[in-house]
Amino acid sequence: MFDRLQTLALLQLGDSAYPAGGFAFSWGLEGLAADGMLANRSELDRIIADQLERRWASMDRVLLRQAFRAEDCVAIARVDRLADAATPSAEMREGSRRAGRALLGVWFKLDGPLSVAYRGLVSSDTRLGHLAVVQAVVGRDAGLSLEAAELVSGWTLVTGLVSAAVRLGIIGHIEAQRSQEAARMLLARLLEETPPPDALPASFTPFIDIAVSRGPLRHIRMFTT
């Protein structure tokens, strides 16, 4: 049965205008463009596919599912620390925490009960607040199912990457829609497969990680990552 309320919640949380600070992150696109490895839509689509298949599906989604099923804030924090340990790049760790804490701050102000409770732990531990974990917390406060929370998480990554590419001048708005359409089909296929309950978070996106790590060496930057 079509769930109108959940669909509207998906539209709200997946909106690129949602005030969670996502506009500050390119997740490596800026660095790849600066290094001459991203110049057109074909290359952008390949990078989006790598992000979805080799990081989001195998790491962020796994962490989100664990946090969504966690019994309390202490258990959620254990997943959060796992996210920190599983992210070798210091810049990616910092970017993930900044994005997650920004999202958590929105729901703290909206009086989401789990968000309010979890923010107390995040405020006292610098390792906590990773984006995938906070997406689970926010999804629970928003009344989303696990499947809906996963969908928002994956789609938010796609729109963030495409938006960054437009702002960097790599593609135009029509090309952006084509990239989103291709990513939408891939995301749908990935969501058809359910990770095993004992899955451990893992990612392999070396070019993106290197591009992000080189960020602090660049004199001019638009994005945090």
Coil vs helix vs strand at 63: helix
In a domain, 25, yes or no: no
Contact 166, 172 (CB under 8 A): yes
Domain that holds residue 117: 44-192
What pLDDT sits at residue 209?
Answer: 83
Residue 119 lies inside a defined structural domain of this protein: yes
The DSSP code for 26 is: -
Number of domains in the chain: 1
Domain presence at residue 116: yes
Residue 139 in any domain: the answer is yes
Asked if the structure places residue 209 within a domain, the reply is no
Inside any domain, residue 17: no
Token pair in block for residue 225: 């990552």
Query: 107: number of CA atoms within 13 Å, CB side?
Result: 26
Q: Is 179 helix (H, G, I), strand (E, B) or coil?
A: helix
pLDDT of the residue at 78: 97
Q: Which positions of the chain have pLDDT values less than 70? A: 1, 16, 20-23, 215-225
- Residue-level pLDDT at 44: 97
Q: 158 is written with which tokens? A: 């796609």
Q: What are 62's two structure tokens?
A: 């796994």
* Residue keyed to tokens 């340990």: 85
Query: Model-level pTM?
Result: 0.92
Q: Residue 216: its pLDDT value, please?
A: 63
CA 48 to chain CA centroid, nearest Å: 12
Residue 27 has a pLDDT of 84
Give the CA distances from residue 133 to residues 10, 41, 47, 115, 190, in Å, rounded to whole numbers and listed in that order.
17, 30, 23, 11, 19
Q: With respect to residue 171, please indicate whether it lies within any of the assigned structural domains.
A: yes
